[in-house]
Amino acid sequence: MEAGGAPLAPSPGNMAALRAAKKALRLEMKRKVAALSDAEKRRQTEAVSRRLIAHPKYKNCQRIAVFLSMSDEIQTEDIIQDVFQRGKECFIPRYKSGTNHMDMVKLGSAEEILHLPLTSWNIRQPAEDGLQEEALTSGGLDLILMPGLGFDKLGNRLGRGKGYYDTYLERCWQHPKGRPYTIALAFKEQICDHVPVVETDKQIDEVLYDDS
């Protein structure tokens, strides 16, 4: 599904209502995903992973950014294994605490993930003072796999409210290599009729989910 239609800038009087709508939708999406059994999450993860691995944008990319999944997200471990098996370069998020700044730093191997420190969100990420290659200081990125709580069919994304990916995409678009393609990975329960957005919310190119 291709992205389309730019978000409009809300008037100051509408900002409180928009924030409230986002908060309510986040709660609804979390509730829907929490109701899924572990077996159903695995089933949808496997279906989405197969769709991604068969996708032309994935097949043809060389430098790919992959999020390290939390329990309420499509799991990315098998995708990361496949990235290395195909000889691609894999980059993973490194969040700077207390800010909305995120870098994508190079992962040496899939096994390296097991030795990364845990964050307060109980996910692993490279240490903030690490010396790993950052994607935008070298060759840029071809493809970014996007997490999120909710998505609509216009490419609008509901994140967790920190702005990490929106600010990173802004930086990507200014890179000499140009804008990377963005694919969100979602449970079908995360697909919404409409995600409320503001100008700073970046649209994604495509959402992959199991619609069977």
Residue 7 included in any domain: no
The domain tally of the chain equals 1
Residue 48 included in any domain: yes
For the chain, what is the radius of gyration of the CA atoms? 17
Which CATH number goes with the domain that contains 103?
Answer: 3.40.50.10420
Residue 6 included in any domain: no
Residue 4 included in any domain: no
Across 140-163, average pLDDT:
94
How do residues 88-110 score in pLDDT, each as one tens digit? 999 999 988 777 899 999 999 99
CA nearest to 143, candidates 83, 71, 211, 74: 83
Residue 39 included in any domain: yes
**pLDDT value of position 141:** 97
Identify the residue with better confidence: 130 or 126.
Answer: 126
The span from the CA of 186 to the CA of 63, in Å, is 21
The mean-pLDDT minimum among 11-20, 57-66, 180-189, 194-203 falls in: 11-20
Across 155-163, average pLDDT:
92
Residue 173 included in any domain: yes
How do residues 38-51 score in pLDDT, each as one tens digit? 999 999 999 999 99
Return mean pLDDT, the chain: 90
How do residues 10-24 score in pLDDT, each as one tens digit? 565 688 888 899 999
Domain boundaries, position 95: 12-208
How do residues 141-152 score in pLDDT, each as one tens digit? 999 999 999 999
CA nearest to 184, candidates 135, 136, 144: 144
The string of DSSP letters for 75-137 reads: --HHHHHHHHHTT-EEEEEEE-TTSS-EEEEEES-GGGGGGSPB-TTS-B---TT--PPBGGG
The mean-pLDDT minimum among 8-12, 138-142, 165-169 falls in: 8-12
